[in-house]
Structure 1
Amino acid sequence: MEDQMEVDPSSPHGTKRPAEEPEVSEPPKPKRIKALDPNVVNKIAAGEIIVAPMHALKELIENSVDAGSTSIEVLVKEGGLKLLQITDNGHGIDREDLPILCERFTTSKLKEFEDLSSIGTYGFRGEALASISHIAHLTVTTKTAGSSCAWRAHYGEGKLVPAKPGQPAAPKATAGRGGTQITVEDLFYNVPTRRRAFRSASEEYAKILDVVGRYAVHCSGVAFSCRKHGDSGVSISTPSAANTIDRIRQIHGSAVANELVNFEVSDSKLGFRASGLTTNANYHVKKTAVLLFINHRAVESTAIKRAIEQTYSAFLPKGGHPFVYLDLEIEPNRVDVNVHPTKREVNFLNEDEIIEMVCDEIRSKLAQVDSSRTFLTQSLLPVPTIDALQREQGGVFDDTTGNGKAASTPKTPATSKRPYENNLVRTDSKVRKITSMLAPSPSQAAADTPAQLGAQPSSIRDEGLQYETIDRQPLRIALTSVKSLRSAVRSSMHNTLTEMFASLTYVGVVDEQRRLAAIQSGVKLYLVDYGLACNEFFYQIGLTDFGNFGTIRLDPPPKLIDLLKIGAEIEQQNHSDGDDEEAQAVFEQAAGTVCQTLIERREMLDEYFSMKISEEGELLTIPLLLKGYVPSLAKLPRFLLRLGPYVDWTSEEACFRTFLRELAAFYTPEQLPVARARAPDESNREAPDAEAEDPFITSRRAQMIRMLEHAIFPAIRARLVATSRMLKGVVEVADLKGLYRVFERC
């Protein structure tokens, strides 16, 4: 207690002694940044490239095909985790190259970074063998045509290691045949967390068979075989002389091979050629199977798969899916092959246009063979009458019922259960409506088109709009800012909402003033704020087609300053009284400032946004985002005026984001007044309540209804990535199952 109640003799009596202040400790120093150990770096890189045994095998198969092999044999034990061996008869590896074979970034296919734009081989970065050697025991046995013997080398962590302790690490001469044999043992032995993540060896073996099967179908002239260790038979075996259909028959079965349709399409302007085989309407399964090869590399593409499924939705029953083998060859300078560690994905220019052309070709092929669709039928055999039986038997016919009447013919039992009515979709988006057959008349089209879009003799008429094709080469946009903005959209994606829009059936416009439309998805009916949906959709089009927009040519071109002054007058009327001279001067000055800003940046606006401004300040073109849709040009002055204060011209990413947001707002359909109800007696034109609507509004209303049905919502269904911010613009108004439950209680 005495220690706890010490008195400070220097302090006067009756005064409070302040509590002891804690010792001020030094702020914690930041941890020093250190370079990772190379072994850790290599294991991290290996984990990105070799995710599962199937990825290791894919890299090894691609190396074997690059080596000119005509025979590839695969041996697997415990799903590839215990043993994964691939043997080929290619040109082999020189003895002098074996010491650096498994070092990172050692390759014979690249010398400079620019070589990526013309790469035509499978493996090119020199990371596969290096990654495998850091997470497995790797053995390479190889023999070239000019070598008198084969050489065997063992690798660990990218370097040569001895086969046994105490032996030299140098490659050892051995007997062997021409080609290369790579043996991978104990995959992920030093990454126990990754190894424990694999559920079963049979599941991994099925994935390995899928990889081997894909390349066995695609690589003509190469024999493939794959078997489990210890099994006498093989799981996959294709001879080198087999054609593509025979390879599909051996791997996927005769049910697929017997229903295949060949297709081929190419376009020199887009720099691609596509060919392949696809099943017709007689074949369908529960899951879509797409064997996709881009420049002979097996890849995956959600966009291509979704487009193919939508194409087949008009030919197959609900729940049915096709089998498609697609070989897509694109000019190497239009493809970015270095976007994924496992090379599972690639980026290429004009993706939407190429996918559309491929699907159109598949659709035309299916339409040609659809007339020969076969059905299983049962013939009705003639049933003899009672009189005939009586004459044949010479007596009175007596059936088992004992009443003298002929027994009824037994009915064939139903092969499938009838679905409940509350699970049936009442509206089918594939059914063609009668309005789609009524093309607008020339006079109506002229009234509906507010701008001439370059009428030429060779132009294409589409919904009253006129287009012409130019020979401008598409730009390859690799700007980090644009990629970052695209990534931000993907990160905010709402999966359920995206699926709803991808399967929507357009019902019609509900309210043009509040911009509400009705759509159906499955057995549910929704009200959608199409203004909000279009705003997000056109922003995404601006990102995907960045630098490659079409153009709407204004003829004659208006003066930019005149449009900006009109926009300033509109803003002035919205924010202040019309007689305020000071505000009028401010808005006029703002119009001149914005005009100067846009003229100074006209080269950038032309290159990235297809917005051409002449040196004299004339607005020549504005961007075209969607074919078949023209925005309201009445919104053009306000759009141009907002490009001044609402666009951040100081930062590249912020500039692109804010400009595209303003462009999307300009393209968003405008609010229209409520349509005038037709009077009961339309002949009474002089009645005060029968005031006629503005003809321009009537024309724009009819045009908007057509554009929403035939241009905007089909494009939204095909391309929109619905984000979380769109949830507030979608309301469910009816559910068929819920309605059935309500009426069942009545």
Structure 2
Amino acid sequence: MSDEMDIAPPSPRGTKRKGDESLPLPAPRRIKALAQDVVNKIAAGEIIVAPVHALKELIENAVDAGSTALEVVVKDGGLKLLQITDNGHGIDKEDMPILCERFTTSKLKAFEDLTSIGTYGFRGEALASISHIAHLSVTTRTKESSCAWRAQYADGKLVSSKPGQSAEPKPIAGRPGTQISVEDLFYNVQSRRRAFRSSSEEYAKILDMVGRYAVHCSGVAFSCKKHGDHSSGISVPVSASIVDRIRQIHGSTVANELVNFKVEDVRWGFKCEGWVSNANYSSKRTSLLLFINHRSVDSAAIKKSVEQTYSLFLPKGAHPFVYLSLDIDPQRVDVNVHPTKREVHFLNEDEVIAIICDEIRNSLGKVDTSRSFMTQSLLSNPKAPFATPMKPTVSGTPASGDASDRSGSKTAPRTMAKKPYENNLVRTDASARKITSMLQLHPTVDSGGVNDDEDLEYEYTEKEPTVCSLTSMKQLRAEVRDAMHNELTDIISTHTFVGIVDEQKRIAAIQGGVKLFLVDYGMLCNEYFYQVGLTDFGNYGSIRFNPPLHLQDLLKIAAEQEKNNAGDSADEVDWEEVVDSVQEQLISRRALLIEYFSMEITEEGDLYSLPLLMKGYTPSLAKLPQFLLRLGPYVDWGTEKECFQTFLRELASFYVPESLPLCPSTATSIEQNSGKGKQKIVDEDPEIALRREKIRRAIEYVIFPACKARLVATRGLLTGVMEVANLKGLYRVFERC
């Protein structure tokens, strides 16, 4: 009894004790090899953490097998059943006994092969791990086989489906491909099974994983549904493009705002293609679909860099959608750094990520509809309001004082006009004050004294308009109608003129609905005056010269200009012969010119008149010599239709407002004069300033209103109209304020 009292009780587990040299040291424990069953279950627990990880391995094996269609069936979030069926090349019957043993693979032979591996799977651990923690059955048929074969597996070995039967694969009827069924996942690891909170949460993770591979694997059809359901949670056809796959999985809201980019760098050995959302889309969390060498992986560094890139475009708290497919030289990638292959490491990560983010930033800067210039995006949304709706009439208020109207209004249904949102309210009243009224006028130009009509006197004749029945003109008009772009025509016909942006590049700003556009008014005027030439053919007014202009003198001026522009090749052309040839050509066709184009030329070569296409605007007569010279070689005088078309094109080009130099700003130069600074004001030439003011007034008050009334916008004008701002997009940009 006393001996028992002398024995110290064992210390509580986990209690810290001070070292006591008087106590005897415990005997060292011997190192033993773990049982193979324990080893396999530990490995399985590292590789298969959740049902979604098992499915990822099975999807990668199916795609490696050359499948073009994958069907996934899930029950209870994959814990009860996880089944995947593909139409790949199948598994040979001779390989089925070792199918689920560890490190059995057809994709890797030596360790050095890891540096050039190009398949999804390579370690041969997926099916082995699953077989140790679930009931696994495989049904497969190769193209050469006459039937399918089914086998059951447990702990990496073949087992019989019923007691007393053989464990060998059994022949059954089946289609080519492979079907793998995983039942009762984690049935023998209860601690892991109890960790899953809900089947719906696991099913959502499975849908996310299937969706990732469905977006990336072009040419492969995917479907995923719950067991017993008739409808699929994901269904992607084999022929769908990447954008269509994103639309079906993530919705049209994302797909309509995607930007494509490609970048590669030989030095760092990578290529990257991606689809990223522009500044018009945002969500509460970043959606990053990242594939490196076609494996779905995670990268905190890439995600953080992408979010920092988008912080320049999105308001605070908003996040993008990003799909990246990164191909890196296999020798630069270490694929075997994570048990579930969720992560990979590659050389020069920082440099590669910086190049990708720079390309994303450049792509967003080019196509962001709220701040950039993209021609094709201006008509991407047919539901955008192109015209301002009319003010609603108050219900019950009669239009006149008639008693019958008042009685009739009582029976009419009362309709309440919806209150417009603030981001749909824009200024559309042309009489309202504009920002240009706040700008200081140029000191050399008195705007009150500028009048486009001050040098012109108009005479009205009683000439009856003629009806043109020429087949060639009907065909030319039909070509314009066939090339009509309806939405662009609506924008032009309902626009509000904002102002001229650049007279050198001939750019003006207009407002259409809730959008702001930049318009190349040189291109717009060219098309407009060409269409005026078609519609008013044979009924033009005339600009008469008093005294008349000598045709030969004008052609010599144009020839001298061409000679100076030709440079070294000018001596190869006999310019006097060119002048004589063009003059003779125009004089010989003076009857046609006066009849159809109101262009009067005498036998002596005097020019009395030019066609007048628009009242209130006179083209620059400095362009007249060039116009006349081009009528020789650039007009096809041989055939009727081509003659009218080419002549009207040259006439329209003559009527286009000329490009003016940039308006010089007031410059200050310091001159040293007795030690004092002296300011010098640099002013614009008065003639150019006067012409600039006339063009500005003609464009705003004559040309653009005329285009608004009668221009048929053709598809060719799309390259000259660019969307630069969208009111709704601006609300998103500035909502952080």
User: Normalized against structure 1, the TM-score is what?
Assistant: 0.49
**Relative contact order (C-alpha < 8 Å, sep 6+): which is higher?**
2
